């Protein structure tokens, strides 16, 4: 059995998850990260992504829509801007948001806030990704 660490995922609305974890995968501003117990301490900024939570042979996926991660040797704390389980996501709405963001980016119209459009695209992609097998 792999060593485990405590995982806490907290959003402004709720305590999203509190439990044990063997391996955690996510995307930070520095790139993709995978965390096992006894990882070197690290604090990083989260990109909107699909977080994969590995425990007891199961993998749970969640859409994490930005935030921060504090990694300690025996505990990982995620302060998420928003966190959603796949069954909480309206896929049609996420697909529509993705299309709108892609259209705004492709149009390259003057006055379009490209960072905002790119952020909306990343959030939509994370939501859609969390719902896929």
What's CA 110's distance to the chain center, in Å?
A: 31
pLDDT-derived band of residue 1, with 50, 70 and 90 as boundaries? Answer: low
pTM above 0.75, yes or no: yes
| CATH number, domain 5-84 | 2.60.15.10
Domain span(s) for CATH 2.60.15.10 in the chain: 5-84
Q: What is the CA radius of gyration of the chain?
A: 16
> In the structure encoding, which two tokens stand for residue 73, read together?
């040797």
Third-level CATH fold of 89-131: 1.20.5
pLDDT-derived band of residue 112, with 50, 70 and 90 as boundaries? Answer: confident
Spatial separation of the C-alpha atoms in residues 11 and 74, rounded to whole Å: 21
Q: Which phi and psi angles does 6 have, rounded to 5°?
A: -80, 135
């Amino acid at each position: 059995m792999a060593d485990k660490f405590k995982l806490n995922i907290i959003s402004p609305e709720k305590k999203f998850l509190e439990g044990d974890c063997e391996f955690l995968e996510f995307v930070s501003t520095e790139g993709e990260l995978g965390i096992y117990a006894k990882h070197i301490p690290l604090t990083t900024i989260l990109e909107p992504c699909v977080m994969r939570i590995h425990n007891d042979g199961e993998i749970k996926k969640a859409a994490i829509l930005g935030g921060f991660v504090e990694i300690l040797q025996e505990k990982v704390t995620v302060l998420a801007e928003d966190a959603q389980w796949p069954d909480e996501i309206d896929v049609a709405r996420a697909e529509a948001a993705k299309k709108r963001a892609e259209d705004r980016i492709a149009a390259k119209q003057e006055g379009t806030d490209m960072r905002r459009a790119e952020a909306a695209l990343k959030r939509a992609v994370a939501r859609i990704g969390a719902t896929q097998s």
